[in-house]
Amino acid sequence: MITHRPLTINDAEQLIEVVQQRPELFNGYSDEQYKNQIPTMIPEILSNPLWFNLGFFVDGQLYGAGLMKEFSTSPAWCWAHWVVRRGAAGYIASEEGLKVLRDLDQDLFDEMEINRKLNRIFLAYRADQLDKPQTRSIGTFHRVMKLINRQGDTRISKYEFFTECLVEPDTMPKYEYQKNMLLNRTWPIRVGICVGNLKKDYSNFNGS
């Protein structure tokens, strides 16, 4: 059986296992510094109320997770990470899995738009190939949304995305929220920071 629910501190061990199995950020980058941070980061992510984390479970085992963080200084949130266990693709693409992902999509945006009153989404992604449309370079996040969209429009489809800035290799971005999105460190790759705003036609969208 495939289910989803918010993650709690009791899921820390499983989440650490999945992230260590797939320790990539920004659409495919990883290094030893990040890998060493994972066991200490996960308990904080699961216990800090600014975070909202949803898990995708198969027969009670965590197979994927979306980790989201509310900004503390503005009505916005960051899609911090999406990670799936090896072997999860078949479950995610199944009829049952797609239905659960659509339910997850609804729960996520109910939490962010209705409960937390947040109206902007930020993403960080690898931006090595600047000749491609930037929203196509975001990677797994949009591939998952494309799967969900097989069954109709999603809440994420109500947003319009554009690249806010590009952070060059081994440099820090200008603003504190951007630094936080990059884990307050530099990376040896170009990273794009993308923002999604709710489209005008959906500015009064209530989740129904």
Which domains does the chain show, CATH number per domain? 2-202 (3.40.630.30)
Beta partners for 82? 66
- What's the pLDDT tens digit per position in 32-90? 999 999 999 999 999 999 999 999 999 999 999 999 999 998 999 999 988 888 888 78
- What's the pLDDT tens digit per position in 86-144? 888 788 888 888 888 889 889 999 999 999 999 899 999 888 755 444 444 444 555 55
Whole-prediction pTM value?
0.84
If one counts every other C-beta atom within 10 angstroms of the C-beta of residue 173, the result is 20
d(CA 33, CA 28): 15
Residue 157's pLDDT is 80
Q: Mean pLDDT score of the chain, rounded to an integer?
A: 85
Residue 147's pLDDT is 54
Residue 155 predicted with pLDDT over 60: yes
Which residues have CB under 8 Å from 10's CB, separation 6+?
none
d(CA 45, CA 28): 21
91 in Cβ contact with 99 (< 8 Å)? no
Residue 151 predicted with pLDDT over 70: no
Residue 152 predicted with pLDDT over 50: yes
169 in Cβ contact with 188 (< 8 Å)? yes
Rg of the chain over all Cα atoms, to the nearest angstrom: 16
If one counts every other C-beta atom within 10 angstroms of the C-beta of residue 74, the result is 12
Q: What is the DSSP letter of 137?
A: G
